[in-house]
Amino acid sequence: MAFIEQWLKKTKRHITNCLRVIRNAWHFCYALCLVFMVACGGIGIALLTP
């Protein structure tokens, strides 16, 4: 019984770490998209300005 409890704790910790990595990846993706949009917006405004 103790083996099963230890295994469940280990599995829960692994799932939590995986979710943390996925959350960090999504934050990185959103930040990268935001930087790209700001950079392209600045270039677009510069090109449209006479």
Provide the pLDDT for residue 10.
72
CA dist 42 and 31 (Å) reads 17
CA dist 1 and 24 (Å) reads 35
CA dist 21 and 45 (Å) reads 36
Average of per-residue pLDDT values in the chain: 76
Provide the pLDDT for residue 15.
66
Provide the pLDDT for residue 7.
67
User: What's the pTM?
Assistant: 0.51
Residues of the chain with pLDDT under 50: none
Of 30, 25, 49, which Cα lies nearest the Cα of 41?
A: 49
